[in-house]
Amino acid sequence: MLKSLQRYLLGTLRVSISGSGCERFLNLAHSEKFKIYDICRDDDGCVSFGIYRKNFRHLRPLVRKSHVRIHITKRLGLPQRTRNYRRRYGLMLGIIIIAASLYVSSLFVWNVRVSGCESISEQEVLTVLSENGFTVGGLKRKFNIREIENNFLKHNDKISWISINIKGTTAFVEVREKSEKPELIDASEPCSIYAARDGVIASVSDYMGYSLVKPGDTVTAGDLIVSGDYTDKYGTQYKLHSYAKVMAYTTHTKTVTVPLKASEHVRTGNVKNKYSLKFIRFSVPLYFSEKILYNNYDVTKSEKFLKLTDSFVLPISLCKTTYTEVENYEYTKSKETALYDAYEQLRDFEYNLVGIRVLGREYEEQVNEDSVTVKVMLNCYEDIGISRKID
């Protein structure tokens, strides 16, 4: 394969020799170590072979010694192709313009790819980058990447780390979101513990502070259960950082109503596509201004950039807008199906109760003419203590 590529780039000739001295010519060529290949003889006694363009003129002494006639039958390779187009000035000018356009295009950023987003959207990241001067179509050498990254972290408290790498005309932006952590109070700051919700106290393990409740007491949300503000019998006041584990029996309730009549969008199969060609910020429609005849339809948009490689994206893209006709399909659920949907939602509710142990469940069902209602009461066991600073 490498030899074929070399022959194409340097250019080769297909040469034919005739006469009684063909064998002598080949022997001389072999002794002089000429690089000839694909030697063959036809029915007329002529011998043909391939040779590099640059070596052809060195064959003249061998032709005179062997008394053969030589002529070129075919010219191959890149030099011959360029020679064929040497007088096509328009084509050469077009190649020069395209090459210059590609070079100028490589100096800009035409595409931004964002990765690492979970709770925030990619559009939100792009908006903050744009506010800090990093936009599509910007000149690469004018971007101060370190400064843009630092400003991004200052103006967005949801991101803990960001990295911008520019390859070709594409900027690869990788972000890392901050993990949600509960608000913690410094151990040096005094605080008390309050009830987060209604319940019956099961146990109190007070490692620091003074408990105001005992097992069996009923508390409501907001009641003080462990105090860090204490005054002894001598009138001396102490303010402590309370730390305790307050376990209580609680009740979580959830009511779900599922209507028997429902509707959903069903695609009819009728689709209308409209295309447009976009160059930087200018868009040229490739369709006539015709109306969409569908009464109800969904709209989806896609954009495909013209690119030479995965990272070398050109500022030219083909935009596609798809209109899909839909119809509203109304149907009536059976009561069994509606009850199943309601219980599924209640199971999801119970699954999201993190750190809470469910001891029992009580359900109440109510079936109406147009809906089904299910209420669940979960008997739970959980830590209801929540710390608050002492003013």
- Per-residue pLDDT tens over the stretch 224-242: 998 888 776 777 777 888 8
Same domain, 186 and 252: yes
- The CATH number covering residue 28 comes to 3.30.70.120
Quote the pLDDT of residue 183.
Answer: 56
Task: Tell me whether residue 52 is in a domain.
Answer: yes
Is 90 inside any structural domain? no
**Is 215 part of any domain?**
yes
> Are 309 and 347 found together in one domain?
no
Question: Is 97 part of a structural domain of the chain?
Answer: no
Shared domain check, 196 and 218: yes
286 vs 181, more confident: 286
**Statement: residue 33 has pLDDT above 90:** no
Q: Rounded to an integer, what is the distance from CA 249 to the centroid of its chain? A: 46
Region 72-96: what's the mean pLDDT?
76
Model confidence, pTM: 0.50
Q: Is the pLDDT of residue 325 over 60?
A: yes
Checking if the pLDDT of 358 tops 60, the result is yes
Q: What is the mean pLDDT of residues 131-140?
A: 87
Give residue 23's pLDDT.
Answer: 86
Instruction: Look at residue 88 and tell me whether its pLDDT is greater than 80.
Output: no
Whether 250 and 348 map to the same domain: the answer is yes
**Quick one: what percent of the chain has pLDDT higher than 70?**
95
Is residue 288 included in any domain, yes or no? yes
* Domain shared by 347 and 226, yes or no: yes
State mean pLDDT over 106-133: 86
Average of per-residue pLDDT across 11-18: 89
Q: How far apart are CA 207 and CA 195, in angstroms?
A: 17
Look at residue 323 and tell me if it is in a domain: yes
Whole-number Å distance between alpha carbons of 109 and 166? 8
What confidence tens digit (pLDDT) does each residue in 298-318 have? 999 888 888 888 888 888 889
Q: Residue 26 falls within a domain, yes or no?
A: yes
For 296-307, the DSSP string reads SEEEEEEEEEEE
> 175 pLDDT exceeds 70?
yes
Residues 222, 343: one domain? yes
Helix, strand, coil fractions of the chain, as percent rounded to 5: 25, 45, 30
Q: Which of 328, 357, 382 is the last residue of a domain?
A: 328
Q: How far is it, in rounded angstroms, from Cα 328 to Cα 266?
A: 6
Q: What is the extent of the structural domain holding 271?
A: 263-328
252 shares its domain with 375? yes
Q: Position of tokens 């201004």?
A: 289
Q: Is residue 194 part of a domain?
A: yes
Q: What is the CATH number of the domain that holds 170?
A: 3.10.20.310
